[in-house]
Amino acid sequence: MAQYIIEGGNKLKGKVKISGNKNEVLPCLAACLLTEEEIILKNVPGTADVEASLGIFQDLGVGVFREDGIIKLNCQKINKTILKEDLANKLRASILFVGPLLARFGKVEFPHPGGCVIGRRSIDTHLDGFISLGFKFSIKGDINKGSRNGKEFKDQEIFLDEPSVTATENMILTAALIPVTTTFKNCAVEPHVVGLCKMLKKMGAEIEGLGTQTLKISGGKKLSGCEYTIGPDNVEFGTYAIAAAVTNGEIEIEGEDLDGLEPIIKPFERMGIKFLKTDYGIKVTAGSLKAIAELKVNIWPGFPTDMMSVAIVLATQARGVTLCHDWMYESRMFFVDKLIMMGAYITLADPHRVLVSGPSKLRGKNLDTPDLRAGMALVLAALSAKGTSIINRAELIERGYEDVVNKLTELGASIKRVE
Ligand code: EPU
């Protein structure tokens, strides 16, 4: 087990570079399965979820070349269409291998995907979408088996049950290869979904409606290799902004533009964080932090659920009462007992809502993290607390944040990692 040992109280200062988007790189890796030519992905974050995805590729027989944020994959030869349970269980995004394997080989076997335990996390929208497209499924024990349903593919319109991010990505990946035109309605529009579409267009796919809830995909063209650069991780951006604010510091976030970050920046500005565009990137300073009546997650362009845990730490340092509301996940909030142990004033109203009164003086503690985002929230709380904190199961944080110890150390934090 990895632990972070953090001595709180240092104001963060200096420059930090945001890594490639954790949730864009995963569907882009899956897109490599759609072509027999080489794909070069750049700005790939060094996260454990990327490692786990590469493990699946290797198990399928694909050679992986990796160097300094660049991955080269050639999926000309694939040895099998079975996702091994122990590998697929490592991450939710293993479900993204299902669409490409179905589209290319007409069959796949896979377990229910793993990932953070933050809620029910069904895959029904994926399965319903695949079934509408022309596939059928059976389940034996824990293993799902998918194959063609025996009928011809047909042009059609499919309304997704909910605008799920990974389900939308799976539909796009599948429809890009099957030889019909499919219009999907009620799609997710997160920047990482748009990023996947841009990459597929570079590969020669015909996709209309990028960034809207309706995507029209004319599939069946032979897709080629391409070079694609993963966009910046907006959740990591918001996380470092909060790190600066709760330590009363001042940091510059390299290379970022404010455009497109409004769903994250706007609520934080209302809470007193200042963002200033500079030649270098974005300067972040903490003004006097204040509560807002309600901070509620939504599908993009709403405030992202993946920012909620760290935003609760911001609310502990803001004057007044903030109602933090995450309707998406029923277990997201359950880590707040750790913040309460550290001295935060938080009332759990129900599984989806907490009332946070601030500002509170946090004290260092020995803490276990239940999931990736809660883990990073505990890191931020520890940075602003008095005394020493130990964050256990830190490898969960490394599933989604690249190089977190080095980045925070560069900014002046006292943090070390021990095994
Ligand atoms: N949901 C709804 N209504 C909606 C949209 C979603 O009820 O309109 C529910 C779903 O039923 C599910 C939950 O919200 O319980 C999450 O939905 P979704 O299926 O979209 O999640 P996902 O596609 O499995 C991706 C990210 C998650 C992120 C969610 C929501 C990847 C690999 N994962 O998951 O990322 O929380 O979208 O934005 O892209 C993380 O990075 O820490 C993480 C968990």
Question: Has 116 been annotated as catalytic?
Answer: yes
Q: Is 399 a catalytic residue?
A: yes
Distance 151 CA to ligand 1 centre (A): 31
What strands, in cross-sheet order, belong to the sheet with 143-148? 107-111, 143-148, 135-140
| Locus of tokens 């142990």 | 341
Q: Which residue of the set 23, 43, 144, 170 is catalytic? A: 23
Q: Are 91 and 49 in contact (CB under 8 A)?
A: yes
pLDDT at residue 257 in the model: 76
Answer whether 26 contacts ligand 1 (Cβ < 6 A): yes
* Alpha carbon of 164 to ligand 1 centroid (Å): 6
Q: What is the DSSP secondary structure assignment for residue 292, as one 8-state letter?
A: -
| Residue (of 407, 380, 258, 239) closest to 307 by Cα position | 239
Q: Would you state the pLDDT for residue 116? A: 64
- What pLDDT does residue 329 have? 94
Q: What is the torsional sign of CA 285, 291, 293, 295?
A: positive
Nearest residue to 415 (alpha-carbon basis) of 393, 397, 388, 396: 388
Output the pLDDT for position 280. Answer: 83
Question: What are 212-215's contacts with CB under 8 Å, separation 24+?
Answer: 212/187, 213/163, 213/185, 213/186, 213/187, 213/189, 214/183, 214/184, 214/185, 214/187, 215/168, 215/171, 215/172, 215/183, 215/184, 215/187
Closest Cα partner for 415 from 49, 18, 2?
A: 2
Q: What is the pLDDT of residues 203-251, one digit of tens each?
A: 999 999 999 999 999 999 999 999 999 999 999 999 999 999 999 999 9
Q: Ligand 1: which residue has its CA nearest to atom 6?
A: 164
- Ligand 1 in contact with 174 (CB < 6 A)? no
pLDDT for 122 equals 84
> How far away, in angstroms, is 249 Cα from ligand 1 center?
32
Of 338, 373, 399, 407, the catalytic one is 399
Whether 332 is catalytic? no
The secondary structure of residue 95, as a DSSP letter, is: G
Under 8 Å between Cβ of 323 and 355: yes
User: Residue 79, Cβ neighbours under 10 Å: how many?
Assistant: 9
CB of 196 closer than 6 angstroms to any ligand 1 atom: no
CA of 163 to the centre of ligand 1 (A): 9
**If residue 276 lies in a helix (H) or strand (E), which one and from where to where?**
strand 273-277
CA 119 to centroid of ligand 1, rounded, Å = 10
CB 103 within 8 A of CB 34: yes
Q: What is the pLDDT of residues 282-317, one digit of tens each?
A: 999 988 999 999 999 999 999 999 999 999 999 999
107 classed as catalytic:
no
Inter-axis angle of helices 48-60 and 22-31, to 10 degrees?
Answer: 10
Residue nearest ligand 1's atom 14 by CA: 328
Contact 135/105 with Cβ under 8 angstroms? no
Q: Say if ligand 1 is within 6 A of residue 92 CB.
A: yes
| pLDDT tens, the chain, 419 aa long | 999 999 999 999 999 999 999 999 999 999 999 999 999 999 999 999 999 999 999 999 999 999 989 999 999 999 999 999 999 998 999 999 999 999 999 999 999 887 666 566 789 999 999 999 999 999 998 899 999 999 999 999 999 999 999 999 999 999 999 999 999 999 999 999 999 999 999 999 999 999 999 999 999 999 999 999 999 999 999 999 999 999 999 999 987 777 899 999 999 999 999 999 998 899 999 889 999 999 999 999 999 999 999 999 999 999 999 999 999 999 999 999 999 999 999 999 999 999 999 999 999 999 999 999 999 999 999 999 999 999 999 999 999 999 999 999 999 999 999 99
Ligand 1 atom 7: residue of nearest CA: 328
Residue type, 371: D
